Amino acid sequence: MRPKAVSTNTRDASEQPHTRSYALGGEKLTAPKARCGLFLVATPIGNLGDITLRALETLAGVDIIACEDTRITRRLTERYGITARLTPYHEHNAAEMRPKILAQLAKGGSIALVCDAGTPLISDPGFKLVREVCAAGFHVTALPGPSSVLAALSVAALPTDRFFFEGFLPPKQTARRARLTELSRLDATLVLFESGSRVQDTLADLATIMGPRDAAICREMTKLHEEISRGALSELAQSADQLETRGEFVLVIAPAAEGSEIMTTEKIDDLLRDRLARDSVKDAVAHAVEVSGRPRREIYARALELSKRNDKANEKRTHGKT
């Protein structure tokens, strides 16, 4: 549950004037009053120095800053001497707050939307607000900046020409493994968020389902104790018990090895039937996993099913002859 950080009253922003300025390098700088509209402002993911000059000027110039947790955003505003009013906007009060934000905009107000860390709308409820603000005809401006997704991709040493951001996986193992099986079919680098309490279990499931792919574990990006671990999923899973689990994690997983085709179920069945006619189940599965780009667990289950069907067909033919 989110704490009740500050009042959510909706008085006209003009009734609560503040000093439109910010402090930088010991100097106080004046910020122009922001135009009417919604500003999506990226904020640091860890290191408070990772803030753009444009973001500081905008945060100082708006009437209100809507944020997930006012306590976290206040650390940033106090660091830079920004006095704009903070109001909470998060998944638990979003439906209630959207009409109030629209009312402020209708009065000519200017509002910045920030999340606890990084770029707004990435794994947060902001998109519904942006949709309604756009539909109402108000101006929306994006101020790009820090993003844990892009930061992790840049240091993972894995392909970046095509990637898929999944966010958080289901917490329960059965649902998590089912989702990972679906993701394993994508021809793209995968980016996942994970909590410290589940990262070891998730790495084990990744190794089981996605096999020998390369990956990177990015912990506490841009912070004092930032750690980046790179290697095969099997190696990272085996050493996961030594992993420091405090902090926030971004996992980056390479696509299936180049040359391994993501095959359809029909093609895999044809391949397995051919190999089972002359090889053991173990050898047939090993070959199918290598050339299909599909998880071993899935291929093995399919091979067992086809093997049982073959056995039943052989029994029927044998009984028919007798």
Note the pLDDT tens digit of each residue in 6-34.
Answer: 344 444 444 456 889 999 999 999 999 99
**8 Å CB contact between 181 and 298:** yes
- Taking only the tens place, the pLDDT of each residue in 195-249 is 999 999 999 999 988 878 999 999 999 999 999 999 999 999 999 989 999 999 9
pLDDT at position 69 = 96
Averaged pLDDT, 177-189: 90
Distance CA(171)–CA(255), nearest Å, equals 23
- Taking only the tens place, the pLDDT of each residue in 96-145 is 999 999 999 999 999 999 999 999 998 777 999 999 999 999 999 999 99
Q: What is the mean pLDDT of the chain?
A: 88
pLDDT at position 98 = 97
pLDDT at position 125 = 78
Domain containing 73 — which CATH number?
3.40.1010.10
Determine the structural domain holding residue 70 and report its residue range.
13-146
Is 319 among the domain residues? no
Specify whether 44 is located in the same domain as 25: yes
Specify whether 114 is located in the same domain as 233: no
Specify whether 184 is located in the same domain as 207: yes
% of the chain with per-residue pLDDT over 90: 67
Specify whether 201 is located in the same domain as 296: no
Specify whether 76 is located in the same domain as 157: no
Is 306 among the domain residues? yes
- The H helix count followed by the E strand count for the chain is 11, 12
pLDDT at position 318 = 62
Residue 321, pLDDT > 90, answer no
Is 179 among the domain residues? yes
Averaged pLDDT, 51-78: 97
Is 68 among the domain residues? yes
3-class DSSP assignment, residue 316: helix
Closest CA to 159 of 120, 189, 133, 196: 189
